[in-house]
Amino acid sequence: MNKEVKMNVYRFDPNKDKEGKFQEFTVPVKEGMVVLDAVHYIENNMDPTLGVRWNCKAARCGSCAAEINGKPSLMCKTRVDSLGDKIHVAPMKAFPIVKDLVTDVSRNWEIARKIPEFTPKKGLKEPWQIAEIDVSRSREFRNCIECFLCQDVCHVIREHDKDYIGPRFMVKAASLDTHPLDSINRSKFLHEEGGAGYCNITKCCQSVCPEHIAITDNAIIPEKESIVDSYYDPVTMLFKKIRGKHGQ
């Protein structure tokens, strides 16, 4: 184990600076140290003005998302000793910078509000009952911690940010569509407002998810298939009409 590590941390204050730059700090390494520890060491001992957002330090809240050596990652889950003796830490590129490592992810909350909400089937008897086997498909999607690393890595979001809701919200739609008591189909929304057609299945989102959600395989591809069925397969359209699952 190295005794110290060179931390190159991105610095940018939009209220003061024209452009950002990396600043190097030498930080002593301790056993089990994660990148967030090293950033806190800088904040506590070298520069208290360093902007960093975190909350749980346990990979649960999603707020310490950043780009570590170019890879979207959680700072609290990435071990310093897994990265060599020089580490670059930068804010997520897909979102505007508030200060240094802190980004403004509020656009995601706007998208969240647009997803057609859970709509229970009519006439359900109280209390609602769901068989264990019926919740298993959507359980994976509910592990999302809303770190937005998948949104950050998606080239469609980076290049056409207004047009595509992004992988996190394809997961959200899939979690609702696979809910056994939900009554609506979100294909119309995903196709016409969500920009699902922009996703070309690169799977980069899936490769960075700290919860190991199979974003592309289990959420995006089935939702895209459902869109194709809803719009172009007359048999499925008829079946959905008979079942009464309304398109949204």
Q: How crowded is residue 38: how many other Cβ atoms within 10 Å of its Cβ? A: 25
Q: How far is the CB of 81 from ligand FES (least distance, A)?
A: 18
- Closest C-alpha among 218, 238, 219 to residue 230: 238
Burial class (CB in 10 A: 0-12, 13-18, 19+), 127: exposed
Select from ligand SF4, ligand F3S, ligand FES, none the partner in contact with residue 66, using the beta carbon and a kind-dependent cut-off of 5 to 8 Å: none
Options 46, 98, 111, 204; binder of ligand F3S; rule CB under 6 A: 204
Q: Which stretch binds ligand SF4 (CB under 6 A): 17-25, 83-91, 194-202, 203-211?
A: 203-211
Nearer to ligand F3S (CB atom), residue 30 or residue 114: 114
| Pairing assessment for the beta strands 102-103 and 65-68 based on DSSP bridges | unpaired
Exactly one of 7, 11, 50, 63 binds ligand FES (CB under 6 A); that residue is 63
Tell me how far, at minimum, the Cβ of 38 lies from ligand FES, in Å. Answer: 13
Is residue 56 part of the contact set for ligand FES (CB under 6 A)? yes
Closest CB 237 distance from ligand F3S, rounded Å: 26
Instruction: Give the separation between CA 46 and CA 41, rounded to whole angstroms.
Output: 7
Tell me if 145 contacts ligand SF4 by CB under 6 A: yes
Q: Residue 63 or 230: which CB sits closer to ligand SF4?
A: 63
User: Binding to ligand SF4 by residue 169, rule CB under 6 A?
Assistant: no
13: amino acid identity, one letter: D
Q: Is 43 in the site for ligand FES (CB under 6 A)?
A: no
User: Closest separation between CB of residue 218 and ligand SF4, Å?
Assistant: 11
φ, ψ of residue 196 to 5 degrees: the values are -60, -30
If the CB atoms of residues 116 and 166 are measured against ligand F3S, the closer one turns out to be 166
The reply to whether 202 sits near ligand F3S by the rule CB under 6 A is yes
Question: What are 41's two structure tokens?
Answer: 């060491």
CB 32, min distance to ligand SF4, A: 23
174 is an interface residue for ligand F3S by CB under 6 A:
no
Among 162, 200, 212, 235, binds ligand F3S (CB under 6 A): 200
Spatial neighbors of 157 by CB under 8 A, at least 6 apart, are 94, 151, 164, 166
Of the two residues 42 and 170, which places its CB atom closer to ligand F3S in the complex?
A: 170
Residues engaged in binding ligand FES (CB under 6 A): 54-57, 59-64, 74, 76
